[in-house]
Structure formats: C-alpha cells, structure tokens
Amino acid sequence: MPHVCRPFRGGIRVQSALVAIFATSRVIVVMMKIGRFFVMVLAVVAWQVMTTGLRAQAPQAVTLQSVLRDASGRLIANRTVGVRITLSRGSASGTAIYRETHTPTTNQNGLYTVLF
C-alpha cells in the first residue's frame, strides 16, 4: 500500500518538510565546503606573507630626515650643517656602538636628508 503524506495543521506536507530540511542541509554542506576553501586560501596567503619576509633583503641604508631650527624657532634654510649620528647601547648615555658624521645642506624649508 503506498504511503500517503497527510498535511500538518499548518498545511505543510511531511514530504515537502523533508525536502526543505534536505535542501537546507545541502546548502549548509555547500557553505561548509566554501568555508573550508576560503580557510585554505587564507592559509596559503598567510604562508606566502610569512615566507616572503624571510627572503627579504636587509636595506642598504637608513634614511634620516629632519627640519632644523635655531634657538628662536626660525628655520635654518639653504645652509650646510654638520650632523653626527651615534647609536648607543642601552640608553643615550650608554656606550657608543656606532658613530658617523655627515654635512648635508638644508632646503628652503630647513629640511635635510641623510643616508646612514
């Protein structure tokens, strides 16, 4: 004897309710697969970012820029100035581990650039 689906009180048949549940579970499975795909893509991108940093080269020089002003706050423009760069261990008064001197020329805004 064939099985007959009888409607619920709300008028939804058992068969259509099962189809809706099956369709919803298929959508969830597809969404989970898409989610796994994006997690894999994110993992590959993260790996590339991390390993690229390991292959990067050290810079050949560090750029220092500064604007010079005198004691009254006026710009020191278009002049050659002496700049000494000292790297100290621990604090400003610590042992000097690196030192160099430059003689850059400031521009009209009092800006100079030094590569060390």
Residue 107: per-residue pLDDT: 95
What pLDDT is recorded for position 56? 60
Angle (CA) 20 30 22, round 5°: 20
* 8 Å CB contact between 112 and 66: yes
Instruction: Name the token pair of 26.
Output: 């298929």
Among 61, 83, 63, 69, which Cα is nearest to 111's? 69
Q: Which tops the pLDDT comparison, 23 or 58? A: 58
Which pLDDT score is estimated for 60? 83
The CA radius of gyration of the chain, in Å to the nearest whole number, is 35
| Cα torsion angle, 65, 69, 75, 79, sign | negative
pLDDT in tens, 57-111: 677 888 989 999 999 999 999 999 999 988 889 888 889 998 999 999 999 999 9
